[in-house]
Structure 1
Amino acid sequence: MNSADLGRRVGVPSTALFTDQYELTMVQAALKAGTAGRRSVFEAFTRRLPEGRRYGVVAGTGRVLDAVENFHFDEEMLGFLRDQAVVDGPTLDYLADYRFGGDIWGYPEGEVYFPGSPVLRVEGSFAECVLLETVILSILNHDSAIAAAASRMSAAAGGRRLIEMGARRTHELSAVASARAAYVGGFDTTSDLAAGFRYNIPTVGTSAHAFTLLHDSERDAFRAQVDSLGRGTTLLVDTYDVAEAVRTAVEIAGPELGAVRIDSGDLLLVAHRVRQQLDELGATETKIVVTSDLDEYAIASLAAAPVDAYGVGTQLVTGSGHPTCSMVYKLVARADSGDPADELRPVAKKSMGAKSSKGGRKWAARRLDEEGVAEAEVIGTGPVPEELAGRQLLVELVRGGEVVAREPLDAARERHIAARAGLPLSAMQLSRGEAVIPTEYV
């Protein structure tokens, strides 16, 4: 079990081998060259947003903190590295004592970001920082992609409830991380009990078509479910004939029936017919839940339908076409020694094309217009302009190896709602377009 997936962190195993071999071989070579201890600054950022996206969503920060906290090499891991001749003896000795002792700053979880935003800044010796590259990127790239898709779906839902139900469509550990990220992005509940257990996300679920097919009749199935779960349950009404199922559901549960779920057909048309039928039967408070391969576009197309909640699976846990954010983790500054007083010098990749980067330890701030709406993401390496001093985005997450900013998941969720509300209205458009605000370097 990946400890980065866990909210309840009792007895979690190490994350140290959630890494690429070249990180360890770089440490070996740097130790031999005498450069492993040089003070260094790494930053995680993306050069561009996925095609058509107007903003990104920072998610997975809490999981990153857990992963960093539990990044250490136990005897079994060291034995594996020794047996496979991955690194030499002096490097094994270094890894045996490894604990991250540096500082981490970053955008708080739930905040939005744009191309070039220094989403995470990791500072310490070269060796201790470079080892964290893969585990940090694997978490941020996955979770931020899911949260961005969730945010778009949440905006399209217009305040209607959203249920995450993609566990069966992805890896079992990714399912838990996806549910967490979806909650940050605006979803209300999850069907995944592991996510509920680990992160206190509200869970929901009643029955599938198999439960109806198990019984001799749909009536028997509905009766069994209502007897067990109460009149406020949600009955699945599209196993056979929808109109007959709705009639039977209200007969059995009465007007107190909590909800009906529709999982197939022309959802817009069927929802209107079901709403009319429920109202005629006196079940005016009974809700309608729709599922069936929804994404943000399908949700938006149902804006005029009498739908109260959407259940989303496949498209959510695959990032609705963009399963990664393409974040990178680059060395942007380093000193000539490990002395904290030694000057940091900007460094950057200068290759041709789109893979170049900008050197220097960066700050970031969001400039607002006269109405308080975001108009630019401003990034710099020098002094922060006075007018932006109160708009800085990076917060301290780890100080001297100790986590200082762990927070409830609800705080990240509420932060995202506020951050999204502070963007121009065009950020909510589902049509293809560029980042909703420009990135400016000063």
Structure 2
Amino acid sequence: MNSADLGRRVGVPSTALFTDQYELTMVQAALKAGTAGRRSVFEAFTRRLPEGRRYGVVAGIGRVLDAVENYHFDDAMLAFLRDQNVVDGPTLDYLADYRFSGDIWGYPEGEVYFPGSPILRVEGSFAECVLLETVVLSILNHDSAIAAAASRMSVAAGGRGLIEMGARRTHELSAVASARAAYIGGFDTTSDLAAGFRYNIPTVGTSAHAFTLLHDTERDAFRAQVESLGRDTTLLVDTYDVTAAVRTAVEVAGTELGAVRIDSGDLLLVAHRVRQQLDELGATGTKIVVTSDLDEYAIASLAAAPVDSYGVGTQLVTGSGQPTCSMVYKLVARAASADPADPLRPVAKKSLGAKTSLGGRKWAARRTDEDGVAEAEVIGTGPVPPDLAGRQLLVELVRAGEVVAREPLDAARERHIASRAGLPMSAMQLSRGEPVIPTEYV
């Protein structure tokens, strides 16, 4: 599939007000103080992985690039800010001309990450970089959480098909982003047509219980669906009696029936019974799809069942209990002026507790053993050691305000498969644990 990352750029709105007010008031104060133009480096990272997770998955980079490109203030937005007295006149003038003109480096989408990984590095003036904080974190925290859950479900599925079907369980715009992130994490299709339209993700869907209930008999419902969609359709067989429904389905569609879907009951037991019944009826090629509040643990428990694919909704679009990655966006270095010759100085928060950070513009590399298996996430601020020079993780995304790294969504999906395969085997365990490799600072 040739799926461009953005797909169709239809009706893309400005992202400028997807922000917290204090981003704008900081710009106002910095403009007045004469510090807004100081050359600065911000980094997005997480201090820890969600509890029990062994690796994170970078997702949302393509959407971040869209957000940066579309971050501008139109007349209506400026009027709103003026009417609400959010910022003063000089700041409104600055915002009216705002376009990000700096550089962005980051982990490529689909790559895995660990505590401290500098997932995104944003460089430019203080004012232009700080304005991006909220929208960047909003995208990365959401999409990476969904992709991590999808990755775990993909591992549990063991190569069987995965259908994203959570649109009815989250905000309509989150549903589209979730489908995109899930595809990166290993899902094969989505039920959400907006996601298919925007990102060229394959879409699937046939009928719900309401369609069966609409008709006078289950046979009538099956006949109507087969006559409309063909014999290779998927028939939902648990509205009434599963055994009777499977028999009727094969009678109506013949042994060429594409699939049956089971959405309730003891899925392990019912799947075995349905497989046996289908085989006895001669429908040996008919596949079995199961749905019903699945997560990675439920999928793993069905490993011995004759199931061909899983449909996952609620647990996927809510990150399977971890709906955010707790990423932060921190100023890590700044110069005393806008002069490119002025050296960058490391800066970092040094408050009490766990909310400290490491100053300095960082690079990251992944050290591997002689078999190519990851051993450590190595992060530094000085020269890159020669043995790690070819293993650096950050790639250039934006140069002087221009996006330079758009890629097909399939590239991110394939990258994730390869990146995950390079981790120690314990990364595939669903049990709770510590990050599968340590983070080392040099």
Taking structure 2 as the reference length, the TM-score comes to: 0.99
Per-residue deviation, 1:9: 1.8
SS of 2:357's partner is coil
1:245-294 Cα distance to aligned partner (Å, 9 max, x none): 00110111111000000000000000000000000000001000000000
Query: Which whole-Å CA distance do the structure 2 matches of 1:84 and 1:22 have between them?
Result: 14
Query: Which whole-Å CA distance do the structure 1 matches of 2:94 and 2:256 have between them?
Result: 65
1:288-308 Cα distance to aligned partner (Å, 9 max, x none): 000000000000000000000
Would the aligned equivalents of 1:374 and 1:424 in 2 still touch at CA under 8 Å? yes
Query: Which whole-Å CA distance do the structure 1 matches of 2:339 and 2:150 have between them?
Result: 44
Q: Which range moves more in the overlay, 1-10 or 393-402?
A: 1-10
Matched with 2:86 is 86
Would the aligned equivalents of 1:3 and 1:67 in 2 still touch at CA under 8 Å? no
Query: Which whole-Å CA distance do the structure 2 matches of 1:354 and 1:256 have between them?
Result: 60
Taking the TM superposition and a 5 Å limit, the aligned residue runs for 1:285-300 are 285-300=285-300
Would the aligned equivalents of 1:222 and 1:235 in 2 still touch at CA under 8 Å? yes
SS of 1:437's partner is coil
SS of 1:227's partner is helix
Query: Which whole-Å CA distance do the structure 2 matches of 1:282 and 1:52 have between them?
Result: 45
Would the aligned equivalents of 1:4 and 1:15 in 2 still touch at CA under 8 Å? no
Please say if 1:282 is aligned against 2:285.
Answer: no
1:37-83 Cα distance to aligned partner (Å, 9 max, x none): 00000000000000010000000000000000000001110000000
Per-residue deviation, 1:5: 11
Per-residue deviation, 1:144: 0.2
SS of 2:254's partner is helix
Per-residue deviation, 1:10: 4.0
Matched with 1:213 is 213
Distance 1:11 1:275, change over 3 A: closer
SS of 2:407's partner is coil
Per-residue deviation, 1:12: 2.0
Distance 1:390 1:6, change over 3 A: closer
Per-residue deviation, 1:370: 1.1
SS of 1:419's partner is helix
Would the aligned equivalents of 2:3 and 2:410 in 1 still touch at CA under 8 Å? no
Per-residue deviation, 1:7: 4.0
Query: Which whole-Å CA distance do the structure 2 matches of 1:125 and 1:249 have between them?
Result: 65
Structure 2 segments unaligned to the other structure (5+ residues): none
Would the aligned equivalents of 2:46 and 2:327 in 1 still touch at CA under 8 Å? yes
Query: Which whole-Å CA distance do the structure 2 matches of 1:386 and 1:12 have between them?
Result: 43
Distance 1:6 1:387, change over 3 A: closer
Would the aligned equivalents of 2:5 and 2:408 in 1 still touch at CA under 8 Å? no
SS of 2:104's partner is strand
Query: Which whole-Å CA distance do the structure 2 matches of 1:11 and 1:188 have between them?
Result: 26
Would the aligned equivalents of 1:3 and 1:15 in 2 still touch at CA under 8 Å? no
Matched with 2:329 is 329
Query: Which whole-Å CA distance do the structure 1 matches of 2:187 and 2:203 have between them?
Result: 11
SS of 1:3's partner is coil
Would the aligned equivalents of 2:5 and 2:409 in 1 still touch at CA under 8 Å? no
Would the aligned equivalents of 2:2 and 2:410 in 1 still touch at CA under 8 Å? no
Distance 1:188 1:440, change over 3 A: same
Per-residue deviation, 1:3: 18
1:114-145 Cα distance to aligned partner (Å, 9 max, x none): 00000000000000000000000000000000
Query: Which whole-Å CA distance do the structure 2 matches of 1:8 and 1:284 have between them?
Result: 40
Query: Which whole-Å CA distance do the structure 2 matches of 1:281 and 1:256 have between them?
Result: 11
Per-residue deviation, 1:238: 0.3
SS of 1:85's partner is coil
Query: Which whole-Å CA distance do the structure 2 matches of 1:227 and 1:19 have between them?
Result: 50
Would the aligned equivalents of 1:333 and 1:361 in 2 still touch at CA under 8 Å? yes
Q: Which range moves more in the overlay, 3-12 or 37-46?
A: 3-12
1:8-45 Cα distance to aligned partner (Å, 9 max, x none): 22442210000000000000000000000000000000
Q: How many residues align?
A: 442
Would the aligned equivalents of 1:3 and 1:13 in 2 still touch at CA under 8 Å? no
Would the aligned equivalents of 2:3 and 2:409 in 1 still touch at CA under 8 Å? no
Query: Which whole-Å CA distance do the structure 1 matches of 2:2 and 2:18 have between them?
Result: 9
Query: Which whole-Å CA distance do the structure 1 matches of 2:291 and 2:382 have between them?
Result: 50
Matched with 2:358 is 358
Query: Which whole-Å CA distance do the structure 2 matches of 1:12 and 1:355 have between them?
Result: 35
Query: Which whole-Å CA distance do the structure 2 matches of 1:343 and 1:299 have between them?
Result: 53
Would the aligned equivalents of 1:161 and 1:309 in 2 still touch at CA under 8 Å? yes
% identity of equivalent residues: 92
SS of 2:151's partner is helix
Per-residue deviation, 1:341: 1.1
Would the aligned equivalents of 2:232 and 2:258 in 1 still touch at CA under 8 Å? yes
Distance 1:2 1:131, change over 3 A: farther
SS of 1:366's partner is strand
1:293-349 Cα distance to aligned partner (Å, 9 max, x none): 000000000000000000000000000000000000000000000111110000000
Would the aligned equivalents of 1:4 and 1:63 in 2 still touch at CA under 8 Å? no
Would the aligned equivalents of 2:6 and 2:62 in 1 still touch at CA under 8 Å? no
SS of 1:354's partner is coil
SS of 1:353's partner is coil
Taking structure 1 as the reference length, the TM-score comes to: 0.99
Would the aligned equivalents of 1:295 and 1:312 in 2 still touch at CA under 8 Å? yes
Distance 1:296 1:251, change over 3 A: same
SS of 1:226's partner is helix
Query: Which whole-Å CA distance do the structure 2 matches of 1:434 and 1:134 have between them?
Result: 28
Q: Which range moves more in the overlay, 2-11 or 22-31?
A: 2-11
Query: Which whole-Å CA distance do the structure 1 matches of 2:52 and 2:286 have between them?
Result: 37
Query: Which whole-Å CA distance do the structure 1 matches of 2:3 and 2:254 have between them?
Result: 46
Distance 1:280 1:4, change over 3 A: closer
Would the aligned equivalents of 1:58 and 1:110 in 2 still touch at CA under 8 Å? yes
Would the aligned equivalents of 1:102 and 1:400 in 2 still touch at CA under 8 Å? yes
